[in-house]
Structure 1
Amino acid sequence: MKCYSEKASILSILFMGLGQLYNRQFGKGILFAAVEILFIVYMLPFVSRGLWGLVTLGEIPQRMEAGKILPGDHSIFLMIYGIMSVLLLLVFAAIYVMNYFDARRVGEQRDKGKPVKNIINSIATLYEKGFPYLVLTPAGIFLLFLTVLPLIFGMLIAFTNYSGPHNVPPRALVDWVGFKIFMELFRLPLLRETFFGVAAWTITWALAATFTTFFAGLIMAVLINRHGIKLKRF
C-alpha cells in the first residue's frame, strides 16, 4: 500500500516545501521553501526582538551620562513591534498549515494513482477556484495590520501603568500591571463616577445610532416599495 500522503505530511512539517518536492511539485515546493527561508533569515530576528519587547516592555530607559543623552528602550514602540511580531507569526503559521494540507492532499491523490499537477496547472486551479481568496488576501493583510493591530494596542495599553508625567517613554519605562488600573478605577470615587458617566454615554450613543440607522433604513425601504412612489431608481 502506497503512503505518499504520510511521507509528504511529515516532510512538510519538518520544513516547508519538502512535501511538495517529494510529490514532484518542484515549483510549488521551491516557493514554500523560499517563504520559510526568507522568514528565518529576515523576519525571525525582528520577531524574536518583538516578542522580548512585548513581554518585558524594555529594561533600560533613556538616561543622561556625561552631559549626553543615551537612548534606551521605548516601551510603547516595543509593544507595537511585539504585536506586529505576533501577527507575523500568525500569518506564517497560516502559510505553514496551508503547506501541510497541500502536501497531504497531493499525497492522497498519488495514493489513488491520480496525476500530479505542475505549477502551471496549480496556478490555473487557484485562479479558477480560489480567485475570491486570492483577491481578498492583500486586503486581509492590510486589515490585520491597519485595523486589528491598533485595536489590540488600545486594549493592551490599558493593562500597563502608562500615564503622565512619570511613566512616559522614552525617559521612563512602562510596566505591565494587569488589572490594577481597573481595580483603582472602581475603588476611587472620582474615577468611578467618570468611568460610569462615559460608559453610560457610550452605550446610549451606540444603541441610539444602531436603532435609528436600522429603523430609518427600514422605513425608507417600506416607503420606496409603496405603490405610487415615483423616481424609485434615484
Structure 2
Amino acid sequence: MEESISGFKLRGSWGDAVEHGERVTHALREAGADGDAFEQWDEWRPKSHERLSVDVSEKTAEQASVAEGEGEKAGKEPDEDLQSAGEKLTESYEHIEEGDNEGAIEKWQDSIDYVTRAADSAGRKAVRAVENTVYRKVMTQLAPYYFDNELVSANIQKTTRNGGDPEFIFEINVNDDDLKDEVSERLAEYDEIDRWHIDTEKETETAEAVEGVEPPPSETDAKFTTN
C-alpha cells in the first residue's frame, strides 16, 4: 500500500483490492466513524463476490445520481402531488366564497407547493434517467469507478499487467485530516498481522463471475488473525 497526501493507494489483484477496502473500513470503524456516511461507504466498497464492471458500476451510478427530492422522500409520485394540488385549489375557492381570504391564500400556497414538488420529482427522475445512461455508456469508459461523500473519497480502476492478468488500482482518501491520521495508524498496525480473512457472502457466485480470483472461504465478518 502507498500512502500519500491524496490517500491510501493499492495496486494488486481483485482480492487485494477487496482486502484494502476492508482494512480501511475496519480502521474507520475503530476510529469512531459511523452514521449514514459510513454506511454508504461500507455499502459501496468492492466485495469479494462482486464484479467491477457490473456490481461496482451499478453502485457508483446510484450514489452519483441526483438525490431524492421532498416528494420522493415522502413516497409520492408527481401525479399524486398534482391531485393534492387540485384539492387544495378547490379548498382555496371554498374559502373565498366564505369570505375567508386568509384561509384562501393559505390553501392556494399549499396548492403551489404541491405543484412545485410534483415538478421537482418529475425533473429529478428525468435527469436521473439521463445520468444513468450517460454514466453507464460513457463515463465508465473514461473514468475509474468512484465514490464520494463527506467521509470518504475513493476510486478504483482496472488495468492489465504485462502477463495479461488484471490489476486493480484502488485509492481511498479519508476527508477529515484528524480521522485520516487515526486510520493511518491503525493500517500500520494491521500490516503487522500475518493474515487477513476477507469477508465473503455465504453463497458466492462461481469463480468465473469474480474478477479473476477464486472466492475465499466463507466468513461471516471481516477479521484478521495471526498464524
TM-score past 0.5 threshold: no
Which structure dedicates a bigger proportion of its chain to strand? 2
The structure, 1 or 2, with the larger RCO (C-alpha pairs under 8 Å, 6+ apart) is 2
Which structure dedicates a bigger proportion of its chain to helix? 1
TM-score by length of 2: 0.28
**Higher gyration radius (CA):** 1
TM-score by length of 1: 0.28
